Amino acid sequence: MIYSDEELRKMGDVNGDGIIDTKDIEIMKVAFGSTPGKPNWNPAYDLNGDGKVDMRDIGTAANNYGKLSTKYYVKRLPSMAGSLIFGTILAVFSR
Ligand SMILES: [Ca+2]
Ligand SMILES: [Ca+2]
């Protein structure tokens, strides 16, 4: 199962690199307990949108650990396959 970047962000990919891993959980730990107005507050880390970053948000990221978005695959496509796809897209749009 591959998710869109937007879906994955809501599931815990707070740094937006296309995978939910320890980096995301570390970022959220720094913001733990934050609420709007606090210096470490970032609404992107409040996954359930209840106005604070707590165990429920970090739990969501932990439950989704290892899930990937399309971005993760695009970044890792071999350059040849990448340019082939890019060339195809260009060809379609330049018609
Ligand atoms: Ca991530
Ligand atoms: Ca929350």
pLDDT recorded at residue 54 = 97
Burial of 50 (0-12, 13-18, 19+ CB in 10 A): exposed
Q: Would you state the pLDDT for residue 80? A: 63
CA angle, corner 78, sides to 77 and 79, nearest 5? 110
Query: Which ligand lies nearest to the CA atom of residue 20 in the structure?
Result: 1
Q: Could you give the angle at which helices 55-63 and 22-30 cross, rounded to 10 degrees?
A: 180
pLDDT at residue 79 in the model: 67
pTM value? Answer: 0.77
Closest ligand, as measured to the CA of 34: 2
Q: Which fold would CATH assign to domain 2-93?
A: Immunoglobulin-like (2.60.40)
pLDDT tens-digit profile of 43-86? 999 999 999 999 999 999 999 999 999 888 877 776 667 677 77
SS3 19: strand
Question: 94 CA to middle of ligand 1, Å?
Answer: 34
